[in-house]
Amino acid sequence: MSVQFTQFDRFELESGQVLHQVPVAYRTWGELNARGDNAIVICHALTGNTDADEWWSEMIGPGKAVDTHHYFVVCANVIGSPYGSVSPLTVNPQTGEPWGADFPTTTVRDCVSLHRLLLEQLGVTRVAFAIGGSLGGMQVLEWAFHRDLVQGVVPVAVGGRHSAWCIAWSEAQRRAIYGDPRWHDGRYDPADPPASGLAVARMVAMISYRSFEEFDERFGRERSDEGFHAETYLRHQGDKLVDRFDANCYLQLTEIMDTHDVARGRGHYLDVLRSIEQPALVVGVTTDILYPLAEQRELQEYLPKAELAVLDANQGHDGFLIAQEQLGEQVRSWRERVIDPLLGND
């Protein structure tokens, strides 16, 4: 099914600010049963979109880890993304113009709260489990606090709060955009955006998404007339993102990620982790330098019903998008043992 859209007349952010005429883009697969209790929620990463069957093609489908034969699968676009949900690109109904740099501060919790409204509108009464990596994993951990709705969680390549290390990587990317002379404090001409700054931000991000091992094996010191292969790879990645993304949206999403802290306003961090009651499959990647395995081991240690699965992949953080066969087997095995019996699919 193609991308669908809905709109909510009113949505209150965690900050207390109220948005009106709030669009949400989403896709679904499979069929919702009569009880509405066979849903799976997929949460996408920073520059991802609702086309989860494309970027996780080996994960989604009949008989796969996210089994569309037995489950109704929903992937909604996050707040701040340029792919259809409310963002700096959408129109502020009070001004009749795109929000742009005036788009309000939002959080991971806001994304999940908005998506819950969508699930209720679709008739979902129970989510078997929520799954996602990176920014998607942050949403997954927030879904755990919707205990009346969500029965299991699969946070992938993420920790329980955004570390100083991750915040520093995000700030370096933001500074690349701020330094572009076309930035104009976010009030740039859409026809002449800060493309150079956004490209550099993506190049910085790509280094953190991969690993020393992959760069060494893939590029080494090979070069062409255009420069070292590692250089041309990064330039290519930067140019690709500029063709499909918006600078204000990119900044908004990195700031949303910085708000990630399951303990914010809830109590002591480890106590809050201990309060997550649902079965959890915590997945990490051996070579992830952005969200290292120590963060997933921490989640496994303190979440009372957590199992740890490790992706043995040399692609770094992006291993959760690349090593799909391995990830799919880990998730499918956990789902069949832990989640399917709850729905009677054993």
**pTM listed for this prediction:** 0.97
Amino acid of residue 215:
F
185: burial class by Cβ within 10 Å (0-12, 13-18, 19+)? exposed
What pLDDT digit, counting tens, does each position of 277-314 carry?
Answer: 999 999 999 999 999 999 999 999 999 999 999 999 99
Pairing mode, strands 223-224 and 66-67: unpaired
By CB atoms closer than 10 A (0-12, 13-18, 19+), residue 22 is buried
Q: Over the stretch 202-257, which tens digit does the pLDDT of each residue have?
A: 999 999 999 999 999 999 999 999 999 999 999 999 999 999 999 999 999 999 99
Q: What is the pLDDT at residue 134?
A: 98
Confidence (pLDDT) at 344: 75
Q: What is the per-residue pLDDT for 251?
A: 98
Whether the per-residue pLDDT at 337 is higher than 70: the answer is: yes
Strands 39-43 and 72-76: parallel
Q: Is 8 buried (19+), middle (13-18) or exposed (0-12) by CB count in 10 A?
A: middle
317 in active site:
yes
- Tens digits of per-residue pLDDT, 48-99? 999 999 999 999 999 999 999 999 999 999 999 999 999 999 999 999 999 9
Q: Please report the pLDDT score of residue 345 as a whole number.
A: 67
Q: What average pLDDT does the structure give for the chain?
A: 97
Task: Name every residue whose Cβ is closer than 8 Å to that of residue 254 and which is 6 or more positions away in sequence.
Answer: 46, 170, 173, 174
Q: What is the pLDDT of residues 252-277, one digit of tens each?
A: 999 999 999 999 999 999 999 999 99
**246 catalytic per annotation:** no
- Among residues 70, 115, 162, 317, the one annotated as catalytic is 317
Active-site pick, 81, 85, 87, 134: 134
H-helix or E-strand spanning residue 340: helix 340-343
Q: How far apart are CA 103 and CA 117, in angstroms?
A: 21
Other CB atoms within 10 Å distance of the CB of residue 175 = 13
Give me the DSSP letters along 183-232: -GGG---TTS--HHHHHHHHHHHHHHHS-HHHHHHHTTT-EETTEEHHHH
Nearest to 145 by CA among 308, 334, 277: 277
Active-site residue, from 110, 180, 261, 288: 288
Summarised one tens digit per residue, pLDDT across range 156-176 is 999 999 999 999 999 999 999
